[in-house]
Structure 1
Amino acid sequence: MGTGGSVETLEFQAETRQLLQLVIHSIYSNKDIFLRELISNASDALDKLRLESLIDSDLEVDTSDLHIALSVDKDARTLTVRDNGIGMSRDDLVELIGTIAKSGTAGLLEKIKEAKETQDGAAAQNLIGQFGVGFYSAFMVADKVALRTRRAGTDSGTAWESDGEGTYEIRAVDDLPVGTSVTLHLKTADSEDGLADYLSEWKIRQIVKQYSDFIRWPIRMATERTDADGVTTHGVDTLNSMKALWARPRSEVTEAEYAEFYKQISHDGLDPAETIHMRAEGNFEYEALLFIPSQAPFDLFSRETKRGVQLYVKRVFIMDDCEALMPNYLRFVKGVVDAHDLSLNISREILQHDRQIRGVRRRLVKKVLGAIKDTQAKDGERYTRLWAQFGRALKEGLLEDTDNTEALLELVSAASTHDPERTTTLREYVERMKDGQDAIYYLTGETRAMVENSPHMEAFAAKGYEVLILTDPVDEVWVDQVPAFSGHALRSIAKGQVDLDEPADGDGEAESDKAKRDEDFAALLPWLTTTLSEQVKQVRLSSRLTTSAACIVGDAHDMTPTLEKMYRAMGQEMPPVKRILELNPTHPLITALRSAHTTNAEDPALAEIVELVYGGALLAEGGDLPDPARFTRLLTNHLARGL
């Protein structure tokens, strides 16, 4: 181990040896992360030296060129990571490198053993991820690790060495520079296939680019180039860009830089529609740089779509698609969150249950929704384009995110009968409501044309009431989950009783007309309900029809036919829902049916006409006939009789 003091050989505790073996052989599925861990440790050491030099004016250190250096010796099969950071004293070394000994409690070890015995590697890795043992990942690729270090402000250094099997050696060493070097003696190729790649420049560049590109300190490596004439030149390259845009003040970043960074992380050729740059300070510090794309990805509604943003810890890449930081309905959001106080070994499972991460997620969601709201307020056309791309996904939030229901409702934009050329927000709808109107009326359907031509629309159109036209599949669900907006209930015009002709107090003439109408149909309606008992729960007179003979409606809390179809398409068997047939008492066909029933209620042709009326109402709303052949035959026969 070099010149200096006498060598001490210390033995790991029994539990620690077992834990170390799990780290080396069973936990990490991606061996590349050993270099990420060592670079991160070196970066922390540089951060600490810079801070301490500012606090302690008597500390004699050179901070003019703080950096991390990587070097390879292919003949000796060694890879070394050096930094000129804070370094460690002997006591620091025993304490810090001995963290694993402090963490190796019987309870933790027992849980890891259970996970290993059940072959649940992910669970084992999640447990390890809580205890900061990343340094020991070096033993995945090395059969010996040698560490030399000297703490700033001290005269002597310390060397530590271990093969990871049960003991380590430690001794004092003279003439070491301030900082730390970690040398990995790679396992032989025979025992660990592929490890020779870690001695290759291309592999080291690849790992640094993926995991450590935004480390604030330069990561340098000696390089060797041979030209076509066989002349070899030596140099030193900086491997990382150090351009962590999220760590810079927004005023110092150009829109072009934001756009270029977005394209790098999203693989999108278009500029983002919105950029959100934020910094949170306090008990849990982090920076975030988020982007809303200009165009929805082709797989936005695919089950296999990956979601979430990239997670960094102190500029060290941890994972792509961190779902814990972004809800499913915002899966189109791209970007980076850089947390200051998380372990590098944090796992997806731990993130999902971490209280601080949940707090970050809440703030990120509010920022994203706030940015979309700002666009809505400042640029209507731009917002319309954004909603066209992502509105369907945002409406899923009304089912998933009750904490932000009001914010999401403010964003909802839908087609309506007010203006066929543009959509409207719920706020705009409320501002246009007629005097005395207390509900927001809507109708769901497969297409705008089908909804606009629905019999349910007739009375509303005649009286000038605006109706929202909802044609996204998710609309069938969220309108039932959201009771009201701005104090006004959302009401389907295809459900429940609709009476737009309620008489004013003292309007005896209107009351008398209604009573006379009810008396005229008193005999027909029960007979129709009995005749159609297999299809409907009730036949009643309608006040929502002006030109059609009949329509089918549901009770206020019934499931819509479209929603029924959706559930069945997903393999869920739904009990059939009987609905209500409403008749237009002023339509010639219905008045003729009433007269015929009064004259001869036993005529078999009447039942056939009733079946045709029901089938016609079913077709008008886009429903499926139970027996199309029979309906066609009945219709043909009655047309022939009429001719």
Structure 2
Amino acid sequence: MTTQTHGFQTEVQQLLQLMIHSLYSNRDIFLRELISNAADAADKLRFKALENADLYEGDGDLKVRIKADKDKGTLTISDNGIGMTESEIVEHLGTIAKSGTKAFFQSLSGDAAKDSQLIGQFGVGFYSAFIVADTVEVHSRAAGAKEGVMWRSKGEGTFETGPSDKTSRGTDIVLFLKDDDKDFLESYKLEQVIHTYSDHIGVPVELYKEGKEEGEDGGFAPVNQGTALWTKSKSEVSDEEYVSFYQHLSHDFGEPLTWSHNKVEGKHEYTSLLYIPKNAPWDLYQRERQHGLKLYVKRVFIMDDAEVFLPQYLRFVKGLVDSADLPLNVSREILQDSKLTQSMKGAISKRILSMLEKLAKDKPEDYAGFWKNFGAVLKEGPAEDFANREAIAGLLRFNSTHHDDTEHLVSLDEYLERMPEGQDKIYYVVADSFNAARFSPHLEVLRKKGFEVLLLSERIDDWMMSHLTEYKGKPFASATRGELDIEATDEEKEAEKAIEGVLAKVKDSLGDKVSEVRFTHRLTDSPACVVTDEHGMSSQMAKLLASVGQAAPEVKYIFELNPEHPVVKSLDGREGENFEDAVALLFEQALLAERGSLEDPSGFVKRLNKLMLQGL
């Protein structure tokens, strides 16, 4: 093996600069990240040794060791875990093999505090070494390999690889500390950081201490508790330890919103530790993004991101599950086909929803923050998780006509509490924006009757509502689909009768542009509107399909006329081109209110100008 110089991947160079400048105020995290990586290397060796015990090379006593050398100004973090080959060291320490990297950099704001959260979530803990070191050297020998490999860099544009004289299995990371960071050579400082961030690590973390008396030999002594946190009873674990473990799991520098530690016994035995994050990861909507829980079997690490235990709509949850029933050689394929894992997934889903219900009840301000970050993801739930559809619906939050702004959100329970006598449905409208929903002509009669309407304007909303049929026995009813089943008054019936001949003429004029023309009493101020059939495709659903590249059938609207409106009444006396222009304008106005655009805007403008000239 010869010494070679390699160029860092462009994204690595960008990341190094961001780390050094954004994270310096939180320097301690470099040690947490490097200890975490070392513990993961031990976990991976333990897992691979299940099939090949020779990988232990006669030493199954896995540990992490930390040693400071004040004379050389170096701090060394060592493990006797899985180790790396030359190709692995180049791949792991020279590139970011992660899809969506470009989107990650685009999501950075330039605010160091905010960006530090994103950097942590990106899971690039090794590079945090350059926060405190101006040179980093790595010596590693992979389990079962004959030779070691060296990696060295100043964190600028290049790194070197070459042979290493390391003979023991595992990895040594040597940090040549910057002058301002020599406090990390002090035992008291290292102990403090280890206790703060790494007490929960299941592998012993040992610190080298000099002999107290002259001539007395030094040695390594354990610092952390070395017991997997989730194996303890809840009464034995402090809030600080739960928070620290969350940071270890998620690489998030902040605190979680809430967590649940639960041991299940009986037919199935497993322990789960689940966290709801405070901040959304930058890649929450990346389709390639891995999500899931860390999986352990009988305390042996099996895999990261075991997605089978979490439905997609709960992909923001962090945590782990430790099963006593699964085999140690379990694979992703076995997990997918296992009735046991499906049962565990159902139970874990219910637990997470219960956590969110409790958060919403006990800490509504925290839940409001959760909804802002993760609400759009939770909206995927009704379609994906039929069994928990009502529980998910109870967690949804909406704008509504009860408030005139976007800040105030209402729950379905609050909506039901306010329903006046005579209202037996939950009304909603879906539009392209909050204002488009708020000022929709479809709401006019509902406002007049004092019925609250949910105002939905996110792209996913129409699809979500197609899977929500009722809540606590009250059916949902779209203000823009079908008929509202609101009984017409005698005056309204008389108004219809007076111009009943208009309907056929309007249908003849519009032809196949509409599926039907009828009178409506959903309008009070507007002359006309368009609606879709109860089971037809809405405008918003068609736009949603188009946005993901799917062809949507043409939406054929029902054209509804307000028989009490003066403009509609005036149609009864119009003929010829005058009638055609008036009908076209009414229809285009209704389309504009519904869709926000027209296929022939110039024709609409010409007709409008013509009408204005007549008025002048």
Q: TM-score, normalised by structure 1?
A: 0.65
Give the 5 Å matches for 1:69-468: 79-82=57-60, 186=144, 188-189=146-147, 199-200=167-168, 203=171, 218=204, 235-236=219-220, 242-420=226-404, 422-468=408-454
Secondary structure of 1:545's partner?
coil
Determine if the alignment matches structure 1 residue 560 to structure 2 residue 528: no
CA distance 1:313–1:348, shift in 2 (3 Å): same
The Cα shift of 1:430 comes to: 1.3
User: 1:179 aligns to what?
Assistant: none
CA distance in 2, matches of 1:216, 1:302: 32
* C-alpha contact 1:311 1:337 (8 A) present in aligned 2: yes
Which residue of structure 1 aligns with residue 555 of structure 2?
577
- Check conservation: 1:40, 1:316, Cα contact below 8 A: no
Distance verdict in 2 for CA 1:270–1:546, change over 3 Å: same
Hey, what does 2:600 align to over in structure 1?
Answer: 627
SS of aligned partner of 1:81:
coil
Q: Give distance in 1, aligned partners of 2:283 and 2:565.
A: 49
Distance 1:248 1:416, change over 3 A: same
> Between Structure 1 and Structure 2, how many residues are aligned?
464
Q: How far did residue 189 of structure 1 move? A: 4.5
Structure 2 equivalent of residue 476 of structure 1: 462
Equivalent AA in structure 2 for residue 480 of structure 1 = S
Aligned residue in 2 for 1:616: 589
Q: Distance in 2 between matches of 1:471 and 1:484?
A: 20
- Deviation digits for residues 403-441 of structure 1 (CA, Å, limit 9, x no counterpart): 111211121221111123521111221121111211110
Specify the alignment match of 1:593 in structure 2. Answer: 571
The match for 2:506 is: 528
| Aligned-partner Cα distance in 1 for 2:568–2:293 | 61
Q: Within 2, Cα distance between the matches of 1:583 and 1:525? A: 9
State the alpha-carbon separation in 2 of the partners of residues 186 and 446 from structure 1: 60
Task: Give the Cα separation in 1 of the matches to 2:221 and 2:169.
Answer: 11
Q: Give the one of 524, 531, 549 matched to 1:546.
A: 524
What SS does the aligned partner of 2:322 have? strand
Q: Larger C-alpha radius of gyration, 1 or 2?
A: 1
The answer to whether the 8 Å contact 2:44/2:301 transfers is no
CA distance in 1, matches of 2:602, 2:173: 71
Relative to 1, partners in 2 of residues 1:35 and 1:237: Cα closer, same or farther, differing over 3 Å?
farther
> Are the aligned partners of 1:287 and 1:337 in contact in 2 as well (CA < 8 Å)?
yes
Q: CA 1:621/1:39 → structure 2, altered by over 3 Å: closer, same or farther?
A: same
Distance 1:524 1:322, change over 3 A: same
Contact residue 398 and residue 481 of structure 1 kept, 8 A: yes
CA contact (8 A) 1:214 1:315 kept: no
C-alpha contact 2:43 2:300 (8 A) present in aligned 1: no
Deviation at 1:593, TM superposition (A): 1.7
Measured in 1, the distance between the counterparts of 2:530 and 2:516 equals: 10
Alignment of 1:641 onto 2:614: yes
Higher mean displacement: 238-247 or 543-552: 238-247
Distance in 1 separating the partners of 2:52 and 2:587: 78
Q: Secondary structure at the match of 1:525?
A: helix
Specify the code of the residue in structure 2 equivalent to 1:497. Answer: E
8 Å contact kept, 2:460–2:544: no
Q: Which amino acid counterpart does residue 427 of structure 1 have in structure 2?
A: D
Q: Is the 8 A contact 2:496 2:563 kept in 1?
A: no
Flag structure 1 segments of 5+ consecutive residues without an equivalent: 1-29, 44-69, 73-77, 85-136, 141-183, 226-230, 504-509
Amino acid at match of 1:521: I
Which residue matches 1:607? 580
Q: Partner of 1:626: helix, strand, or coil? A: coil
Any idea what SS the aligned residue of 1:534 has?
helix
Pick closer, same or farther for the CA change 1:217–1:308 going to 2, 3 Å: closer
**Contact 1:276–1:289 (Cα < 8 Å) also in 2:** yes
What is the distance in 1 between the residues matched to 2:362 and 2:201? 37
Determine if contact 1:186/1:195 at 8 Å carries over to the other structure: no
Matches of 2:571 and 2:283, distance apart in 1: 53
Provide the secondary structure at the position in 1 that maps to 2:512: coil
Q: 1:542, 1:82 → 2: CA distance?
A: 79
- Shift of residue 340 of structure 1? 2.4
Q: Given the superposition, is the C-alpha separation of residues 563 and 246 from structure 1 closer, same or farther in structure 2, using an over 3 Å criterion?
A: same
CA RMSD of aligned residues (A): 3.8
Query: Deviations 1:186-230 (Å, cap 9, x if unpaired)?
Result: 55459xx99989834652899xx9xx9978675889x999xxxxx
Percent identity between the aligned chains?
A: 36
TM norm structure 2? 0.68
AA at the equivalent of 1:610: V
Number of the residue aligned with 1:25:
none
Opposite residue 532 of structure 2, the aligned amino acid is: G
Is the CA contact 1:540–1:583 (under 8 Å) kept in the aligned structure 2? yes
Question: Can you list the C-alpha shifts for 1:322-360, whole angstroms capped at 9, x where unaligned?
Answer: 101111100100011122233333211111112222221
Q: Deviations over 1:501-539 (max 9, x none)?
A: 445xxxxxx2xx444333322221101011112311112
Q: Partners in 1 of 2:232 and 2:163 — Cα distance?
A: 37
1:187 and 1:195 in contact (8 A); partners too? no
Change in Cα spacing, 1:566 to 1:186, as seen in structure 2 (3 Å) is closer
SS of residue in 2 equivalent to 1:36: helix
Choose from 36, 39, 46 the match for 1:36: 46
AA in 2 matched with 1:359: S
1:42–1:83 Cα contact (<8 Å) kept? no
* Residues 394, 412 of structure 2: 8 Å contact kept: yes
For residues 532 and 203 of structure 2, what CA distance do their matches in structure 1 show? 66
- 2:102 corresponds in structure 1 to none
Extract unaligned runs of 5+ from structure 2. Answer: 1-39, 63-81, 86-141, 149-160, 175-193
| Counterpart residue identity of residue 390, structure 2 | E
Q: Is the 8 A contact 1:550 1:614 kept in 2?
A: yes
- Contact 1:535–1:578 (8 Å) recurs in 2: yes
The alpha-carbon distance between structure 1 residues 232 and 471, as it changes in their structure 2 partners (threshold 3 A), is farther
In the alignment, which residue of structure 2 is the partner of 1:26?
none
